[in-house]
Structure 1
Amino acid sequence: MPESESSERDRPNRQLRLVYDGECPMCRRYVRWQRIRREVGELELIDARQASEARRELTARGIDLDEGFALQIGKRWYHGNEALHRLTLLGTRSGAFNRTMYRLFASQERAARLYPLLRACRTGLLKLLRRGAIDNLGRK
């Protein structure tokens, strides 16, 4: 068996974690509707507002969770638009939501252009709901 096929088979064993804002209705809906391909593995969802090993690691790396969610694939972390782009590529194309996400964010450039708008919507929504920042870096 070629080496590439062997490594593809091993992929479900790699760590997949998504750290997102559990108090943001938009973020919660996104993680509930997002489906990754079965062969990729299982995605662990972590609320950024709760104490966790992932939150501590991201804080130590200086990654501001108020600026975007974070996705870990194996040992590497992706943040903000890069995380959204990577998660989209791992996703299925089944269902209207996942097809739409793929059309919007499969392009790295488009994800980079659109992500600030999504972040602004999240910030506005949290203000409207009177929810504070995650403030994992202690800046606010």
Structure 2
Amino acid sequence: MSAGLEIYYDGECPFCRAYMRMLNLRRAVGEVELIDARSDDPRVAVLTEAGFDLDEGMAVRHGAQIFHGAEAIRLLAVLSEERGVLRMVLRSPRRAAIIYPILRAGRRLTLRLLNRQGLH
């Protein structure tokens, strides 16, 4: 992919879906492709085989680079034109690294409460 983004996220997680809807990336990066990590899309298998654990964090392919977890949400915050507190907080690498494990724990708890499995 030469331009735009591929975003790999958990399509069954309500927080992940809401975050994807909130982002306003198209004007900044062009084409944005949302890929549900639960789908049978072969690119999901390629990322998993490359060592990216999508149950531990979302992934973003931007050009030839792949960002995972806190780095992925930081990149999305930097590229997003959405205004808001969450974007401001996540733009900092340090704050994103601190907050991401909390967000991931919230996702796991929510999936458990909704009686949904993780990605594995």
Partner of 1:81: 70
Contact map agreement 1:37 1:90 (CA 8 A) in 2? no
> What count of residue pairs does the alignment treat as equivalent?
119
Q: Normalising by the residue count of structure 1, what TM-score does the alignment of the two structures yield?
A: 0.80
Larger Rg: 1
Shift of 1:81: 0.2
Aligned amino acid, residue 79 of structure 1: H
Contact map agreement 1:19 1:54 (CA 8 A) in 2? no
Contact map agreement 1:18 1:72 (CA 8 A) in 2? yes
Structure 2 residue runs of 5 or longer lacking an equivalent are none
Shift of 1:37: 5.2
Shift of 1:99: 2.2
RMSD: 1.3
Aligned-pair identity (%): 44
Which structure 2 residues correspond to residues 11-90 of structure 1 after superposition, within 5 A?
14-36=3-25, 38-90=27-79
Partner of 1:6: none
Q: Normalising by the residue count of structure 2, what TM-score does the alignment of the two structures yield?
A: 0.93
Measured in 1, the distance between the counterparts of 2:50 and 2:110 equals 27
Runs of at least 4 residues off by over 6 Å: none
Secondary structure of 1:19's match? Answer: strand
